[in-house]
């Protein structure tokens, strides 16, 4: 019994269209994966907070800063702080839970607390979280042009102090 021979003819155009569609889908999946896999931090502020049954913060009105890792990659937070409008200096927050440096994996958060008694919220420019790689994540309070103008004035002031 002879084996039947099957002949299939595929034109080059069909192969080219198939390859173009497949490579476009692959590229789109890679772009979506890239944006999902990067570090994504959320910074949230809450003012006029009070604690209950905490002897350390008893009777204090607090401002809390929460940094949440909403991305898939872990990130190490080394410090958190804020910039104030010129001529006031920026500051670093030291009361954090857990203590810095802290590695935040997916869905984890870091909470910092500041006594609001010595803090004028009308002077705030932005709240910031700093990573171990040197990247700064910022939650601005004022519009971008005021941030730009304020940083320009601060740099000018720092240059004057440096040369003096």
Element (DSSP H or E) covering residue 130: strand 124-131
* Model confidence at 20: pLDDT above 90: yes
Q: How confident is the model at residue 163 (pLDDT cuts 50, 70, 90)?
A: confident
pLDDT at 67: 94
The mean pLDDT value of the chain amounts to 88
39-163 CATH choice from 2.60.40, 2.40.10, 2.40.128, 1.10.3470: 2.60.40
Residues in a beta bridge with 79: 130
Give domain limits for the chain. 39-163
pLDDT band for 76, please (50, 70, 90 cuts). very high
138 contacts 126 by C-beta, under 8 angstroms: yes
What's the pLDDT score for residue 7?
A: 79
H helices of the chain, in order, are 12-37, 144-163
Residue 44's pLDDT is 93
Q: Which of 115, 102, 104 is nearest to 54 (CA)?
A: 115
Cα 64 from chain centroid (whole Å):
17
Residue 126, pLDDT score: 92
Q: Are 75 and 103 in contact (CB under 8 A)?
A: yes
Q: Give me the percent of the chain exceeding a pLDDT of 70.
A: 100
| pTM of the predicted protein model | 0.73
Q: Using the predicted structure, report yes or no on whether residue 4 has a pLDDT greater than 90.
A: no
Report pLDDT for 75.
Answer: 93
Decide: 122 and 108 in contact? Cβ < 8 Å.
no
Q: In the prediction, which pLDDT does 26 show? A: 96
């Amino acid at each position: 019994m002879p084996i039947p021979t099957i002949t299939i003819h595929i034109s080059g155009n069909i192969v080219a269209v198939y390859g173009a569609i497949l490579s476009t889908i692959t590229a789109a999946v890679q772009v979506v994966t890239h944006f999902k896999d990067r570090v994504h931090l959320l910074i949230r502020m809450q003012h006029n907070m009070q604690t209950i049954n905490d002897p350390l913060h008893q009777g204090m009105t607090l401002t809390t800063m929460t940094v949440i890792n909403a991305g898939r990659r872990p990130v190490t937070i080394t410090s958190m702080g804020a910039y104030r409008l010129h001529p006031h200096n920026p500051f670093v927050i030291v009361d954090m839970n857990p203590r810095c440096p802290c590695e935040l994996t997916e869905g984890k958060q870091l909470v910092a607390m500041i006594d609001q008694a010595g803090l004028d919220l009308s002077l705030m420019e932005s709240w910031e979280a700093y990573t171990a790689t040197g990247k700064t994540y910022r939650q601005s309070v004022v519009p971008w042009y005021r941030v730009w103008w304020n940083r320009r004035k601060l740099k000018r002031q720092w240059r004057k102090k440096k040369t003096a």
